[in-house]
Amino acid sequence: MKVQIKNLKFQCIIGILKKERKTKQKVIVNIKFNYNYKKQNFIDYSEVAQLVEQNLKKQRFGLIEDAILDTKDLLEYKFDIKKLKIKITKPDILKNCLVSVKS
């Protein structure tokens, strides 16, 4: 099975700029992964989304790259998933564009 979680939105501390370390900003997280579905073995996508949000809020990452790597490690440890892709977007950091990093 292929799972996509699109446009998971919340606010957290992420970034290296002085204002980013003090004030929460909006982030948008997109996640894709595959897993082997069996009737008694499924992945609850709401649990995945909640875990990602909790982790990013708790860790207060400086770099998006570190946030992605840490989140990938967490999800791969917690769930039996394959081909995990994560994209984090900071839509409000620059006035004239969206900034994203993806794995």
Tens place of pLDDT per residue across the chain (103 aa): 999 999 999 999 999 999 999 999 999 999 999 999 988 889 999 999 999 999 999 999 999 999 999 999 999 999 999 999 999 999 999 999 999 999 9
Enter the pTM of the model. Answer: 0.93
Q: Which residues pair with 82 in a beta bridge?
A: 34
Neighbours of 27 (CB within 10 A): 25
What residue type is assigned to position 61 of the chain?
A: F
C-beta of residue 91 within 8 angstroms of C-beta of residue 26: yes
How far apart (Å, rounded) are the C-alpha atoms in residues 38 and 78? 17
Q: How many residues does the chain have?
A: 103
